[in-house]
Amino acid sequence: MINRDTMKERFDSLKSEGKERFDEFRSEGKERFDSLKSESKERFNEFRSESKERLEELKVEGGQLAGKVREIIQEGKARKIIIKKGERVLAEFPLIVGVGGATAAVVLASTLAAVAAIGALVSDVSVVIHRHDSDANGEEVREVSFTEIDE
């Protein structure tokens, strides 16, 4: 038969051992959590820095609009094109990444037809081109704005 004092000593010993293991587990868990949190922040910041966009804005006469948009699409580097008249957005469409040349002409034929129709109806428009930094091929990325209106 086990006496009361022996049981109390054993209970206190198990309690102390359990508390030590819990504290050890908690500190390891906290260290692991902090490590994962730091790693996640680094990955997020890396992703964010890689996915910055740059914008180019071109001013184009209505008659030149379809040709200019076709040229941009055939480059295959633009992510999105917005056609604006003043501050008003007339058309906005995303582009398929990496599609250029003849493939783009086939895939985006209906888009080019719509752009040609817009060009026939308006005189001067702005074409805003969204590109990602990764499309810059190591060049310095900056916001570009220039005019291509024939006077």
- Profile the chain (151 residues) by mean pLDDT over runs of 10 residues: 83 90 86 86 71 79 86 80 89 72 67 84 86 52 38 36
At residue 134, the pLDDT reads 55
At residue 98, the pLDDT reads 56
Helix (H) / strand (E) containing 38: helix 4-50
At residue 47, the pLDDT reads 66
At residue 135, the pLDDT reads 46
* Cβ-contact 94, 80 below 8 angstroms: yes
pTM: 0.52
d(CA 88, CA 108): 23
